[in-house]
Amino acid sequence: MSVIAWPRLKSDHPSSRWPSQAMTLMINRAYAVSFLVAQRRFANGGINSQTLQVKVGNRVIGDFMPTQTIDGSYVLYTSDAFTVPAVGTYNVVIQGTNTQGGDNTALIDQVTVTGGLVLTRRTGRVLKVKVRSPRNG
């Protein structure tokens, strides 16, 4: 598991400025991206509607329309499981897509990439359900 620190995401940022984290991922392993999101609340009580897209490398692994909570609290979101085509370093990006239009900002916290679950070659199903971690020492 890897935890990534992310700033707030505003819809008018240039796409080249979206925060990302480079990670080494392995083939035949299942991964998922989880994160907390809160929509910005306005002084008048209004809540905006930033929409988000999660990418790993150039591949979109999820589109999200975070819940607008009355109290502005964070809500947990998790992508579907995904795999990568080759061993390598991939950028994990959460990008504001602003499909609702207007001035929208989402607050992102506690981004994690979990996985490393071994998949069987024949069926693509999980063979081992324990997440692998580096040995100490």
Q: Quote the pTM value.
A: 0.73
For the stretch 102-121, pLDDT in tens is 777 788 888 888 887 666 55
113 and 2 Cβ atoms separated by less than 8 Å: yes
Tell me the domains of the chain and their CATH numbers: 2-117 (2.60.120.260)
Given a cut of 60, whether residue 25 has pLDDT beyond it is: yes
pLDDT attached to residue 17: 56
Task: Name residues whose C-beta falls within 8 Å of residue 87's C-beta, 6 or more positions apart in sequence.
Answer: 24, 25, 26, 27
Secondary structure class of 13 (helix, strand, coil): coil
Lowest-confidence pick of 55-69, 79-93, 122-136: 122-136
Measured CA to CA, the distance from residue 33 to residue 37 in angstroms comes to: 13
DSSP conformational letter for 132: P
The encoded tokens of residue 95 equal 């990008």
Measured CA to CA, the distance from residue 82 to residue 124 in angstroms comes to: 11
Given a cut of 90, whether residue 55 has pLDDT beyond it is: yes
